Amino acid sequence: MYYKGFKAKRPPNPQLYAYVHVFHVFKLHVSTLMPLYGQDSFSPRLIISQIVCIQCIHYIAQGLVFGLFHLLFRSRLHLDLFFAWEAATILDAPGWMVICNSLIVALFGAVSLLVVVERAKKCFDFAFTVYFLHWIATMFYSGFPSSWAWWVVNTGCMIIMAVAGEQLCMRTELADISLEKLRKAWGKSGKNGKSSSKAIIV
């Protein structure tokens, strides 16, 4: 028995070959049953599209929640609610409405991280990007935010979005594997193991 490409005259170590086969089976199970653990590849186009998608979801969610508040409380709808840092205040009812809207939208953002990003380790980066772009948009619309309430609300919402998104993604990544899928994957790995053993040993 010989290995291809080697001139070894001794037969392979059965224990070593068993370890190699177990590693091959584990790798196949991970790629089949847990696709979220695939290799990360740097794709600027994918990252930009994810940022645009999450940013759009952020403002769409804001619009939907403000629309709901308008139906319930007859509040006035205008762009200041989105981009004016003076609107986030604890001194009046519209200010509290903006704060409540920001907290609800942060939860929407966590769900968008689960759907769009799907990776727990990337949640903080995307959450920070969302609120960083929102800060830039706010400066273009109403100037540099000088209200401590605006900074506290948006920083807190960013943390809520990142932490909740991480928890949702981790629950998906660590979801229990059903026995039926495990049996199917084990059957496939057995077939692949036989074919690979024929290719290794001649």
Amino acid at 144: F
> Is the whole-model pTM more than 0.75?
no
Separation of alpha carbons 27 and 21, rounded Å: 10
More confident residue, 141 or 15: 141
What's the angle, vertex CA 160, arms to CA 85 and CA 40, rounded to 5?
115
Tens of pLDDT, residues 100-115:
999 999 999 999 999 9
Separation of alpha carbons 142 and 84, rounded Å: 5
* Residue 128 Cα to chain centre, angstroms: 13
**74: enclosing H helix or E strand:** none
Confidence of residue 196 (pLDDT cuts 50, 70, 90): very low
More confident residue, 148 or 176: 148
Distances (CA, A) of 92 to 76, 85, 96: 14, 14, 7
Lowest mean pLDDT among 55-69, 116-130, 184-198: 184-198
pLDDT value of position 128: 97
Beta bridge partners of 3: 201
Separation of alpha carbons 134 and 140, rounded Å: 10
Residue 3 DSSP SS3: strand
Q: Which two tokens stand for residue 27?
A: 């790798």
pLDDT value of position 195: 47
Mean pLDDT of 5-22: 51
Asked if 111 and 29 count as a contact pair (C-beta separation under 8 A), the reply is: no
Tens of pLDDT, residues 115-134:
999 889 999 999 999 999 99
Q: Which two tokens stand for residue 12?
A: 């392979």
Mean pLDDT of the chain: 78
Greatest mean pLDDT range, 19-28, 57-66, 177-186, 191-200: 57-66
